[in-house]
């Protein structure tokens, strides 16, 4: 994957996508810890491992990769916005608000890569 990454995207694009990746890892780890902690007996219950199915995504196509990234970021923003009204704890609502603002910036960054002007 690293080989295509260096040939399909510019240095600036690689840096943007790498930064977005690291943010998403932080979000994933945060939610895994939060959900595990909310289980009645966290030490005996494990969350299943999930893996994204990229289907027929052509990683050698800049257009396809960015379109998929745009769709995923937009889905994340919509999910947080939709779930906000269901969050009852002020601390959790604050955290969700912070994360959705990051997701919205991700969506904007992807759009800037798709249409730089």
- Could you report the per-residue pLDDT of 59-97, keeping only the tens digit for each? 889 999 999 999 999 999 999 899 888 888 888 889 889
pLDDT for the residue numbered 49: 78
pLDDT for the residue numbered 36: 77
| Token output for 8 | 């399909």
pTM: predicted TM-score of the whole model, two decimal places? 0.81
What is the Cα gyration radius of the chain?
16
Q: What is the pLDDT of residues 2-44, one digit of tens each?
A: 555 667 898 899 999 999 999 988 888 888 887 777 777 766 6
Helix (H) or strand (E) holding 2, with range, is helix 2-8
CA distance 81 to 111: 19
Secondary structure (H, E, C), 29-83:
HHHHHHHHHHCCCCCCCCCCCCCCCCCCCCCCCHHHHHHHHHHHHHHHHHHHHHH
CB 14 within 8 A of CB 69: no
CA distance 115 to 109: 10
């Amino acid at each position: 994957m690293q080989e295509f990454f260096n040939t399909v995207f510019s240095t600036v694009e690689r840096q943007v996508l790498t930064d977005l990746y690291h943010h998403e890892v932080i979000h994933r780890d945060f939610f895994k810890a939060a959900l595990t902690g909310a289980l009645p007996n966290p030490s005996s219950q494990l969350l299943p491992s999930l893996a994204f199915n990229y289907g027929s995504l052509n990683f050698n196509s800049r257009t396809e990769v960015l379109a998929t990234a745009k769709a995923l970021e937009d889905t994340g923003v919509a999910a947080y916005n939709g779930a906000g009204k269901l969050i009852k704890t002020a601390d959790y609502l604050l955290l969700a608000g912070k994360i959705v603002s990051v997701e919205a910036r991700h969506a904007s960054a992807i759009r800037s890569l798709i249409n730089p002007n």
